[in-house]
Structure 1
């Protein structure tokens, strides 16, 4: 029987590039990783530290002891992850946040029914901002304003400009966006929580003695990551469900666990974060199925998540086909493979993002006559080296 090895990816910028090496030296100090085994070694090793996404911002605006948890390493990172773990624990998601997600999703569906149409990524943004604000703490400002300010950190369209003037303008805009977020959203939350603490991350950071600057950086990190992952997952998963009646029927006929299986396979195929970066702190040797590769201290390792998630060693046969029944070769790996990272820095909000998306999409596809009137446009997001899906219009007329 001939296998159906079709390519179901909707967001790939590199269709057809299947045979690239698992380990590639881009230059003397830059390496590209595309194999699952090498990626796990790098992400789980204490010999590499975080690099890339907002690392320069963290080092510039915080002392090392007060750096965002995303950029901490070793014992400091372990302690902070343990302290903040309750905010993202499955039990907390199922109790405290579930009702918020369901109620916010219901309001968004009512807003859709009234005119009979809506922008899907705007709906996803509103939901993810509401949930992220509840977890992190900037709830003392208007949600629409908070949404715009968080989005400004992710949608920096000036990053492709080059030159001294362009860099100066970019830095000025980044500083303006940061100040606006601080004074409109973060500082009001800090004031109110210093007067009366709440069960959120800002309150926790105040108790830990973090400065206002360090709390700001943490809020940008958590806020940006939480909003970006969920919004794009909602849109890309909805796109697949609209285009495949069989997949949509399976999703709606399944229980919540089964629906999450569908979303994890979508996320494996279409990871929202396309690359993770680590920098070697010492000379290291990686083992690629018996073949050793040396990495010198200071080397930047770019882990290509799209390629890693399509490595047959993990995904099995036909890795570019969307298949919720896919058997992941290594039982230690989640069905989404490296889409939420791996090791000590694996995304703490994975359960939240999946729960938000499942509840939202289940409510969306229960609306009679719901259809995708316009498919989204695909752009590249240079912040997370992946895709942005904008302009998807759903109707129920």
Structure 2
């Protein structure tokens, strides 16, 4: 089956009016919130970082930024009409049925698809998230009748959970397990179905409504804090940009298209470059020393800091991680791992910065 022909107008895919998607505010036009934007970009470059938890005030553009990121990403190759967005060439990202076809030497139809962003509703059940098996059909017809859930739809995309701190702990566990393993397994009455579930997990919430338990928080790769912009001039700029976009989205998007294309290109190059990025042994030892002196439980902090520093280096177009690369990501990777007591507040970054400077022999301002 031939790939569908996609025409391009002004850098964007032209779609029939019946299927044209609602315009999304461009990622490159979002003012401020640099911590959140950096954490999201690094997770796109290396999804194995483990997702990002964004905590901050209401109305600070969390949802807008995440939708803008999904819209920014280039289209991906998928197996046509596959419920899991299976990769047509990478066997680790194929559903079982597609893998069997490939192993038998059969040709699989390929289509182009925008990266999916799945919004997880707060009231979602485990069946809605993981999918269900129709036992009657399985017993009567001898087939694994599986109804895919949101994890299937999110494969190779972004799964966004707003107010994740209000979500049932068991469901948060399920999401984190799938994000970490890259697979979702559903078992019922002795019948088991599994499918790939590799996605960037993004959670957001308002600290006033409570924090996640430390055990769950630790499993998010990064933790970004965002605050309401205080400077009047920046607030005016944000309001004016939003007004311009709402008045005529197409004209606004056209004006931002060059920047959007440049950032998209940088992300693609960074994903390719990531495999070649190296981090010196001494720097790795110092990262682990920082984690040790901060009394971070387990080794997740060490692993994520190494991964994030390499992703940032790739994004900057370099092959060797520097001390400054580590400095830019270390707070994002460690601040949420310092809490031992659920009643403690998350470190703003002061403790991490202080220990980092001591271990690396830097002055605060360097």
TM-score, normalization by structure 1:
0.24
TM-score norm. by structure 2 comes to 0.25
Bigger RCO of structures 1 and 2 (CA < 8 A, at least 6 apart)? 1
